[in-house]
Amino acid sequence: MEKILSLFDEKFEKRKEIEQLLEINLDGFFAHMTPFQIQHFVFNKKEFPTDFAQFQQAKLELYHRIQTLFDLYYQFRKANAEVKLAEGTIEGLEKEPDGKTKEAKVELQKIEIEKNKFQIVGIKKQAMDKVNEMVVFADTYQKFKKFDEMTAEELAKYEEEVWRIKSAYYPELPERYGLTPSGFIKLPHENGGLQALIEMQQRQLNPPKGTRGRREMLEKKR
């Protein structure tokens, strides 16, 4: 706290308020996703409607967090190496003659040591947060681990089921891809090729007698 307060002049009128802000207890706040958030928002029944969908997402979430832990591991090693380097540099500076230049060089290295030690604390906290999330995702993985023992053909059927269910909730699936809960809609060109599209266009431009008038009346009513 004293390090932060040193940024402000002792006569600064809001210094007391800053001291009170810095004394706020920040223990217990969630810097990571809670089990509730994971179970109800990540594994929501609309986006991941089946056991297979939740199983696949659990594996994906675990994969990403393992990658993050590797990144944190290398950050941790680098920060420790920076501390050792700064400490070694200070030892070397001890041989130089005293003066403001030496004092400033030593101070810069001390700053590097403090900064990297602070980063190490944060890195450890982030790693623990990721582990806490992994525990929840691992529970879902273990619950549906049976899918790991299935063949590619069996898994393909479960995947198709997921997308068919999702097509009922995401309009872009039937509109853009023609996917519905019943399966894929046959597009005109699939049966009749280009000629089928030409004929459909002609019917739209030249509707049968009697239908055009009714259509214009309906449009006017709107």
**pLDDT of res. 141:** 97
Six-digit token string for 140: 């879902």
**pLDDT of res. 215:** 56
Residues 37 and 142 in one domain: yes
Q: In the chain, which residues have pLDDT < 50? A: none
Asked if residue 4 is part of any domain, the answer here is no
Six-digit token string for 77: 């090693």
- Cα distances (angstroms) measured from residue 205 to each of 100, 198, 212, 214: 88, 11, 10, 15
Six-digit token string for 196: 């089928």
The single residue listed with the structure tokens 């089946």 is: 50
**pLDDT of res. 208:** 74
Tell me the residue range of the domain where 190 lies: 186-222
Residues 135 and 194 in one domain: no
**pLDDT of res. 45:** 95
Asked if residue 1 is part of any domain, the answer here is no
Q: Which long-range contacts (CB under 8 A, 24 or more apart) does 111-117 make?
A: 112/82, 112/83, 112/85, 112/86, 113/83, 113/86, 113/87, 116/79, 116/80, 116/82, 116/83, 116/86, 117/79, 117/83
Does the reported pTM lie above 0.85? no
Asked if residue 64 is part of any domain, the answer here is yes
Residue 183 backbone phi and psi in degrees, to 5: 130, -165
Asked if residue 10 is part of any domain, the answer here is no
Asked if residue 93 is part of any domain, the answer here is yes
Residues 54 and 111 in one domain: yes
Residues 143 and 194 in one domain: no
**pLDDT of res. 186:** 87
**pLDDT of res. 8:** 76
Q: Count up the domains in the chain and report the number.
A: 2
Task: Write the pLDDT tens digit of every residue in 131-151.
Answer: 999 999 999 999 999 999 999
Asked if residue 126 is part of any domain, the answer here is yes
Six-digit token string for 78: 């680098």
**pLDDT of res. 43:** 95
